[in-house]
Amino acid sequence: MGETSANSMWGGRFSDGPDAIMEAINASIGFDKRLAPQDITGSRAHAAMLADCGIISKADAKAIDAGLVQVMDEITRGAFTFSAALEDIHMNVEARLREIIGTPAGRLHTARSRNDQVALDFRLWVRDQCDAAIAGLDALMRAFVAQAEEGADWVMPGFTHLQTAQPVTWGHHMLAYVEMFARDRARFEDARRRMNECPLGAAALAGTSFPIDRGMTAAALGFDRPTANSLDSVSDRDFALEFLSAAAICATHLSRFAEELVIWSSAQFRFVRMSDRFSTGSSIMPQKRNPDAAELLRAKLGRILGATVALFTVMKGLPLAYSKDMQEDKEQVFDAADTLLLGLAAMEGMVRDLSANRPALEQAASAGFSTATDLADWLVRELGLPFREAHHVTGSLVKLAEDKGCDLPDLSLDDMQKIHGEITQAVYSVLGVHNSVASRTSHGGTAPDNVRAQIARWKEVLG
């Protein structure tokens, strides 16, 4: 029967081993060895359940459990030899178990298939990544809140089209990111809640005739319940798609702030100074401080989007139930999760270390006629002009200031009255940037008082 060349796990009906190229395309051990802890945890729970239900003997279960503990120990110590001939982590672990404990190892796979086994292992792994992402997001949000607290009332230009629009507060800008990352956190929590059902016991696709207790393994592995449909259990990768989708949105947020850091730290803006710990120098231009970490974050996060598209492409159009295509799920998710967690940690470090240049922010906030809207609002409020007319009058005042090469507050009352006779000295009070931001007290507005209330709320939420 060619036991030496055919696979010992399923080689019964094979007389020849696989072609070398077949082995190369088929083997997943090169990457799925990362699932070893989950695989062994799942197998230990499965063996305990089999014994409890009287499907294998207590003695065999004991031997299996001790053997699996030893296998895990060997893997942790780097003393385990992974073999591509054994395809994947599941068969590598089982083959080594057989070497260690002999015959009882063959009973572990009762009422189980690699299809439900891999669905379980991967789910456990992705569930851990959700927890890690949530922890990373919490740390990052705290860093943004600390920045907001320091500069709750510092003024800076708010932009639309990257053109100066209206003055806003530094704290408000920081808290905008807290809102985004809080939504990301909720997405990971939500995905985690939905994925927390145990597929183990679905077996190959149809369930099993053995009297297993799926509730027992589900509870032992921290799941809320077993999955309800065996076909769905082995063919579902929604949990991975949801993780990637949440990660892609989060990555998009991270990349937006990374981009702002790159712009803000330039000599043209000078809004912020990145710490030495997150900057690099140039080997030829001694004056340079490059925001490499922010640039790399901006770029690297594209990988997460790539992984998301890749896994959707794998899954779309797949018939039920398991197809080997699904083995292509892991590398994408591994890479995306690694990139996301590194990105969250790097961003947290950058935000913690960031020092905002308050005078530069304030100076920029005053430039570009940023209080033109305040002027128009004043004309509406004090002189009763319709907003459209006030907009027109303000436009003429901006043009006048532009012609004179000055800012709006530098125009004399005489000049202003030439454009609209009823303007009074009182108008100057709304042309300053501090008054401008202080007046934006509408719900969600940029006023320092609003910002302080939001900071208090977030500190409560984040603990």
Using the minimum distance from each CB to ligand ARG, give the nearer residue, 121 or 184: 121
Helices 292-300 and 238-264 cross at an angle (nearest 10°) of: 150
Q: Are 315 and 233 a contacting pair, CB within 8 Å?
A: no
Question: Of 95-103, 149-157, 241-249, 319-327, which part binds ligand ARG (CB under 6 A)?
Answer: 319-327
Using the minimum distance from each CB to ligand ARG, give the nearer residue, 254 or 314: 314
**CA atoms within 13 Å, Cβ hemisphere of 394:** 23
CA distance to 59, 198, 325, 371, per residue, from 179 (Å):
55, 32, 37, 26
Between vectors from CA 398 to CA 397 and to CA 404, what angle results, nearest 5°?
90
Burial of 103 (0-12, 13-18, 19+ CB in 10 A): exposed
Using the minimum distance from each CB to ligand ARG, give the nearer residue, 189 or 238: 238
Residue from 15, 161, 209, 283 carrying the catalytic annotation? 161
Using the minimum distance from each CB to ligand ARG, give the nearer residue, 213 or 232: 232
CA–CA separation, 241 and 14 (whole Å)? 36
Within 34-113, residue ranges assigned H as helices are: 36-52, 58-77, 89-101
Q: Does 114 bind ligand ARG (CB under 6 A)?
A: yes
Using the minimum distance from each CB to ligand ARG, give the nearer residue, 170 or 322: 322
Closest CA to 314 of 231, 306, 33, 87: 306
Q: Does 115 bind ligand ARG (CB under 6 A)?
A: yes
Question: Of 123-131, 288-296, 320-328, 365-373, which part binds ligand ARG (CB under 6 A)?
Answer: 320-328
Tokens of 291: 């925001």
Interacting residue with ligand ARG among 36, 118, 143, 200 (CB under 6 A): 118
Q: Does 65 bind ligand ARG (CB under 6 A)?
A: no
Residue from 5, 83, 266, 282 carrying the catalytic annotation? 282
Q: How many residues bind ligand ARG (CB under 6 A)?
A: 10
Sketch the per residue contact string, 68 through 107, with ligand ARG: x for CB under 6 A, - otherwise.
Answer: --------------------x-------------------
What is the smallest separation between the CB atom of 315 and ligand ARG, expressed in angstroms?
Answer: 13
CA–CA separation, 181 and 16 (whole Å)? 54
Interacting residue with ligand ARG among 38, 43, 279, 327 (CB under 6 A): 327
Q: Does 28 bind ligand ARG (CB under 6 A)?
A: yes
CA–CA separation, 137 and 45 (whole Å)? 31
Using the minimum distance from each CB to ligand ARG, give the nearer residue, 124 or 423: 124
CA–CA separation, 6 and 208 (whole Å)? 27
- Concerning whether 282 is annotated as a catalytic residue, the answer is yes
What is the smallest separation between the CB atom of 31 and ligand ARG, expressed in angstroms?
Answer: 9
DSSP conformation letters of 135-157: HHHHHHHHHHHHHHHHTTT-EEE
Interacting residue with ligand ARG among 120, 145, 326, 336 (CB under 6 A): 326
Site for ligand ARG, rule CB under 6 A: 28, 32, 88, 114-115, 118, 322, 324, 326-327
Query: Catalytic residue positions?
Result: 161, 282
